[in-house]
C-alpha cells in the first residue's frame, strides 16, 4: 500500500509540478503585460508633460508679445475704450480794417444738442425739451429720429443760460459751447473779407486765404466714459496729446472802411440809376499797392452767405475778365514812347476815320474821323486808328513784351483766392488783326485789378507795384507775425517804363483826357485829376461779333497829379442803353470815380495843388 501511496504521492507530486509550471508561465506573462503598460504610461506622461511645457511656453511667448512687444498698442486701445474726448474749438481770429475797425469777429454761443442713441423715448424727451426752449415737440422729435449722426443732433443755437441749465437735466440732451462768426459791417466789404462755413472754416475772401492763421489750434478735454460713452469723470491728458489750444491770429487789412463806404455808396447809386448788371470799384495807394477799397456789386450778407445767389459770391474785381477797350491806350502809348517808336512832337495821320489794309481789315473811330494827331491828341480824343498805327510800329514782339511787363496775362499775386490770369496770347499766335486791335483794347482780356495795377505803375513813375490786401498778421498776444511794409524799397523794384515817360503820360496826356477830352465828367476843382475812359463792346456769346447794346463802361483816375496819393478804377457792366442817359465810360463811370476821388482825398486830408507844366527839364531824353 505504501508504494502505491508513494507512487500515488509521486504521481500527485508530478501533477502539482505541471500546475506550478503553468502558474509560473502565467505570472511571467502578467509581469510582461504590467511592464508594457507601465512603459506606455511613462510615455504618455512624458508626452503630456512635453505638450504641457509647449503650451506653457507658447503662453509665455504670447504674454511677452502682448505685454512687452504690443504694450503700447493695447494700452492705447484700452485707453480709447475707457476714455472719451471733447474737442474745444479755438476762437477764430478777428479781421480789422487799417484803422482797427472790426470787419469780422467770433462771438461765443451755447448750443443745445441731442444724442439720439441715448434717447429711448424720443417723444417724451421732445415734450420735456419743448417746454424749455420754446420749440415744437414734433420738430424736436423729427430732428432726433431722422438725424444721420447717432451721437449728435443740433437742436437749438444761441440758447440762453437758463435754457441750457434746464436742458442738461434731461437724459440724452447736452449743451455745447461754440463760436459764431459775426460781421458788424454787413455787406460793406463782403468780397474782400469773405465768409465762413457753419463749422467756422473760411470759404471765401480773406477768411479762406488766411484760414490757417485765423483758425488757430483746437484743444481737447479728456474724460473717463461708461459703456454708453457718457462722461464719468475727467481724465488726465494722454502723453503725446496737445494739452492746450491756441486762438486764431488777427488779420489787419489795408481796407479803410470809410473809403470802402464812399466807393460802395456811390457805386450803388450809379448802378441803380443805369440799371446795370454788375459793377466794381477799387481804390489803391499807387506807391505801395495797398488797396484802400474793393467793391463788387451785387454783393451779399457774409453771415448768411448760404442763402445768397452763387453769382453774387464771386469777387468780380479779381475773377471777371473783360476786353478793356480804350482804357488801355495810355499803357500802349507808354510802351511805344519807352521803345522810341514814336515821340511826343510828331503827327500821325488818322485816315479821317477809316483805316484798312491787307491783313488787318478795316478800323473806324467811335465818333468822328481825325486827320493828323499828336500822341497826346490821340489819347485825348481816344483815336482807334492812331493807336492801331502805333501798334504796327511796335510790332507784335515789343507790344507783347511791354504788356507782359505791365502785368497783363498773369495774376497780380494779390492775397485773395480765385484770381484770374486774363488773356494775352503769346506773340507767335498774333496776326495783323492782333497788332492793330490790342492797342485799343480788343483781343485781350483783363481783370479790374490788373488794370488798376497798370495805372498805379504809371502813377508811381514807371516803377513796378504789386497790390496787396493784408497789412499785418498779429497773434493773440499782440505780437506782429507778419508785416507788409507801407512803402516799397526803391532799390529792389525795377522800372517798367522810364520815369520821364510815365510822368508825361500822367501829367500831360491823361490830364488832357480829363480837362479836354472824354473824361470831362471827372474834373474836380480842388485837385487836378488824370484819367482815361474806356467803353468796350461785349462779345456775343452765341455767335461771332460784338453786341451793339451791351457795353462795359470804365474810367480810371488818379490825383493829385503832382504826387498821386490815390488811384481809382470804376467799371460798370451792361448799363441800360435804352434809358437814353448814355453808356460810355465818360458818361457812366467817370462821375462815380470823381465822387469817390473827391471824398477820399478830403478824408485823407490831401493838400490841394495846382498842376505844374511839363517842361523840357523834366524830359532830358527828349522823347
69-125 pLDDT, tens digit per residue, is: 888 887 777 777 776 666 678 899 999 999 999 999 998 888 898 888 888 888 988
Q: Directed axis angle between helix 590-603 and helix 257-274, to 10°?
A: 160
Strands 202-204 and 102-114: unpaired
**475: Cβ–Cβ under 8 A, 6 or more apart, which residues?**
249, 250, 481
Return the H-helix or E-strand segment holding 568: strand 566-573
> pLDDT exceeding 70 applies to what percent of the chain?
86
With 0-12 / 13-18 / 19 or more C-beta atoms within 10 angstroms meaning exposed / middle / buried, residue 117 is: middle
- 324's grid cell: 478793356
pLDDT digits (tens, 9 = 90+) for 215-232: 988 877 666 666 665 666
Strands 566-573 and 546-559: antiparallel
CA distance 571 to 321: 12
Could you please report the per-residue DSSP string of 441-508?
T-S-BB-HHHHHHHHHHHHTTTB----B-EEEEE-TTS-EEEE--SS--GGG--BSS-HHHHHHIIII
CA-nearest of 433, 585, 426, 406 to 505 is: 406
pLDDT of 9: 43
| Confidence label for 66 from pLDDT (cuts 50, 70 and 90) | confident
φ/ψ (deg, to 5) at 211: -60, -40
Angle, CA of 579, 523 and 348, to the nearest 5°: 90
- 608's grid cell: 490841394
DSSP reduced 3-state for 82? helix
**595: Cβ–Cβ under 8 A, 6 or more apart, which residues?**
262, 266
**Mean pLDDT, rounded, for 612-622:** 47
Q: Directed axis angle between helix 137-146 and helix 122-133, to 10°?
A: 130
CA distance 275 to 263: 18
Return the H-helix or E-strand segment holding 354: strand 354-357
CA-nearest of 364, 323, 409 to 585 is: 323
pLDDT of 64: 87
**Mean pLDDT, rounded, for 460-465:** 94
Could you give the C-alpha distances from 599 to 180, 203, 261, 438, in angstroms and in order? Answer: 35, 33, 10, 34
Could you give the C-alpha distances from 74 to 67, 310, 428, in angstroms and in order? Answer: 8, 50, 67
| Confidence label for 13 from pLDDT (cuts 50, 70 and 90) | very low
**332: Cβ–Cβ under 8 A, 6 or more apart, which residues?**
387, 390, 391, 394, 399, 402, 403, 438, 439
CA distance 109 to 157: 7
In the predicted structure, residue 370 carries a pLDDT above the cut 90: yes
| Confidence label for 32 from pLDDT (cuts 50, 70 and 90) | low
In the predicted structure, residue 617 carries a pLDDT above the cut 80: no
Domain boundaries, the chain: 2-73, 257-303+311-618
Q: What is the mean pLDDT of the chain?
A: 87
Return the H-helix or E-strand segment holding 191: helix 190-193
pLDDT of 31: 61
| Confidence label for 156 from pLDDT (cuts 50, 70 and 90) | confident
Q: Directed axis angle between helix 329-338 and helix 384-405, to 10°?
A: 70
pTM, two decimals, is: 0.81
Write down the architecture of domain 257-303+311-618 according to CATH: 3-Layer(aba) Sandwich (3.40)
**494: Cβ–Cβ under 8 A, 6 or more apart, which residues?**
463, 464
Could you give the C-alpha distances from 280 to 140, 167, 179, 487, in angstroms and in order? Answer: 45, 49, 32, 26
Strands 219-225 and 231-234: antiparallel
Strands 250-253 and 95-96: parallel
| Lowest pLDDT segment from 172-186, 401-415, 448-462 | 172-186
pLDDT of 615: 45
pLDDT digits (tens, 9 = 90+) for 573-588: 999 999 999 999 999 9
Long-range CB contacts for residues 235-242, cutoff 8 Å, separation at least 24: 235/82, 235/83, 238/79, 238/83, 242/217
pLDDT of 489: 47
CA distance 78 to 73: 9
Calculated CA dihedral for residues 75, 79, 80, 84, nearest 10 degrees: -170
CA distance 173 to 158: 15
Strands 173-182 and 153-156: unpaired
| Confidence label for 367 from pLDDT (cuts 50, 70 and 90) | confident
pLDDT of 118: 83
- 194's grid cell: 469773405
The answer to whether 194 touches 305, Cβ cutoff 8 Å, is no
CA distance 232 to 429: 73
In the predicted structure, residue 570 carries a pLDDT above the cut 60: yes
| Confidence label for 21 from pLDDT (cuts 50, 70 and 90) | low
**Segments of 54-152 assigned E as strands:** 83-88, 95-96, 102-114
The answer to whether 520 touches 514, Cβ cutoff 8 Å, is yes
Could you give the C-alpha distances from 404 to 105, 259, 335, 336, 427, in angstroms and in order? Answer: 40, 31, 11, 14, 11
DSSP reduced 3-state for 227? coil
In the predicted structure, residue 324 carries a pLDDT above the cut 50: yes
pLDDT of 382: 93
With 0-12 / 13-18 / 19 or more C-beta atoms within 10 angstroms meaning exposed / middle / buried, residue 141 is: buried
> pLDDT exceeding 90 applies to what percent of the chain?
59
| Confidence label for 620 from pLDDT (cuts 50, 70 and 90) | very low
Q: 293-312 burial by CB neighbour count: b if 16+ within 10 A, else e?
A: bbbbbbbbebbebeebeeeb
In the predicted structure, residue 417 carries a pLDDT above the cut 90: yes
pLDDT digits (tens, 9 = 90+) for 498-532: 999 999 999 999 999 999 999 999 999 999 999 99
Amino acid at each position: 500500500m505504501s508504494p502505491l501511496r508513494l507512487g500515488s504521492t509521486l504521481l500527485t507530486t508530478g501533477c502539482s509540478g505541471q500546475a506550478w509550471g503553468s502558474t509560473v508561465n502565467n505570472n511571467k506573462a502578467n509581469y510582461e503585460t504590467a511592464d508594457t503598460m507601465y512603459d506606455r504610461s511613462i510615455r504618455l506622461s512624458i508626452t503630456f508633460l512635453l505638450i504641457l511645457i509647449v503650451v506653457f511656453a507658447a503662453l509665455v511667448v504670447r504674454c511677452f508679445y502682448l505685454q512687452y512687444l504690443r504694450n503700447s498698442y493695447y494700452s492705447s486701445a484700452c485707453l480709447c475704450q475707457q476714455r472719451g474726448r471733447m474737442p474745444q474749438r479755438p476762437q477764430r481770429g478777428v479781421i480789422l480794417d487799417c484803422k482797427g475797425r472790426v470787419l469780422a469777429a467770433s462771438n461765443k454761443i451755447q448750443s443745445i444738442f441731442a444724442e439720439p442713441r441715448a434717447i429711448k423715448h424720443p417723444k417724451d424727451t421732445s415734450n420735456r425739451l419743448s417746454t424749455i426752449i420754446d420749440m415744437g415737440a414734433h420738430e424736436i422729435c423729427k430732428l432726433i429720429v431722422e438725424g444721420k449722426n447717432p451721437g449728435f443732433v443740433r437742436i437749438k443755437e444761441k440758447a440762453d443760460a437758463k435754457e441750457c441749465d434746464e436742458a442738461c437735466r434731461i437724459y440724452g440732451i447736452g449743451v455745447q459751447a461754440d463760436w459764431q462768426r459775426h460781421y458788424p459791417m454787413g455787406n460793406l466789404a463782403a468780397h474782400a473779407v469773405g465768409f465762413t462755413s457753419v463749422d467756422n472754416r473760411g470759404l471765401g475772401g480773406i477768411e479762406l486765404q488766411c484760414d490757417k492763421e485765423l483758425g488757430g489750434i483746437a484743444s481737447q478735454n479728456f474724460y473717463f466714459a461708461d459703456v454708453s460713452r457718457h462722461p464719468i469723470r475727467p481724465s488726465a491728458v494722454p502723453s503725446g496729446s496737445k494739452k492746450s489750444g491756441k486762438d486764431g491770429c488777427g488779420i489787419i487789412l489795408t481796407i479803410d472802411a470809410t473809403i470802402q463806404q464812399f466807393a460802395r455808396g456811390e457805386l450803388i447809386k450809379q448802378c441803380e440809376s443805369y440799371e446795370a448788371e454788375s459793377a466794381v470799384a477799387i481804390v489803391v495807394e499807387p506807391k505801395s499797392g495797398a488797396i484802400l477799397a474793393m467793391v463788387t456789386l451785387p454783393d451779399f450778407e457774409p453771415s448768411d452767405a448760404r442763402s445768397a445767389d452763387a453769382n453774387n459770391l464771386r469777387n468780380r474785381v479779381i475773377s471777371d475778365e473783360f476786353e478793356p477797350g480804350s482804357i488801355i491806350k495810355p499803357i500802349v502809348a507808354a510802351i511805344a514812347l519807352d521803345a522810341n517808336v514814336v515821340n511826343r512832337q510828331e503827327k500821325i495821320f488818322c485816315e479821317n476815320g477809316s483805316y484798312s489794309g491787307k491783313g488787318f481789315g478795316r478800323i473806324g473811330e467811335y465818333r468822328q474821323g481825325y486827320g493828323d494827331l499828336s500822341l497826346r491828341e490821340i489819347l485825348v480824343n481816344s483815336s482807334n486808328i492812331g493807336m492801331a498805327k502805333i501798334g504796327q510800329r511796335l510790332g507784335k514782339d515789343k507790344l507783347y513784351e511791354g504788356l507782359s511787363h505791365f502785368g497783363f496775362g498773369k495774376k497780380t499775386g494779390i492775397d485773395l483766392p480765385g484770381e484770374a490770369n486774363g488773356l494775352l496770347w503769346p506773340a507767335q499766335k498774333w496776326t495783323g488783326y492782333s497788332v492793330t486791335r490790342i492797342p485799343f483794347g480788343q483781343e485781350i482780356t483783363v481783370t479790374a485789378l490788373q488794370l488798376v495795377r497798370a495805372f498805379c505803375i504809371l502813377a508811381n513813375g514807371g516803377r513796378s507795384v504789386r497790390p496787396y490786401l493784408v497789412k499785418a498778421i498779429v497773434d493773440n498776444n499782440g505780437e506782429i507775425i507778419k508785416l507788409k511794409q507801407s512803402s516799397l524799397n526803391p532799390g529792389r523794384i525795377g522800372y517798367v517804363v522810364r520815369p520821364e515817360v510815365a510822368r508825361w503820360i500822367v501829367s500831360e496826356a491823361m490830364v488832357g483826357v480829363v480837362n479836354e477830352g472824354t473824361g470831362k465828367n471827372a474834373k474836380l476843382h480842388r485837385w487836378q485829376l488824370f484819367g482815361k475812359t474806356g467803353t468796350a463792346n461785349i462779345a456775343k456769346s452765341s455767335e461771332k461779333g460784338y453786341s451793339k447794346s451791351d457795353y462795359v463802361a470804365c474810367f480810371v483816375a488818379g490825383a493829385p497829379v503832382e504826387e498821386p496819393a490815390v488811384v481809382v478804377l470804376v467799371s460798370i457792366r451792361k448799363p441800360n442803353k435804352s434809358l437814353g442817359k448814355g453808356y460810355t465810360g465818360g458818361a457812366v463811370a467817370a462821375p462815380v470815380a470823381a465822387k469817390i476821388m473827391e471824398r477820399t482825398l478830403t478824408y485823407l486830408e490831401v493838400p490841394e495843388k495846382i498842376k505844374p507844366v511839363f517842361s523840357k527839364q523834366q524830359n532830358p531824353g527828349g522823347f
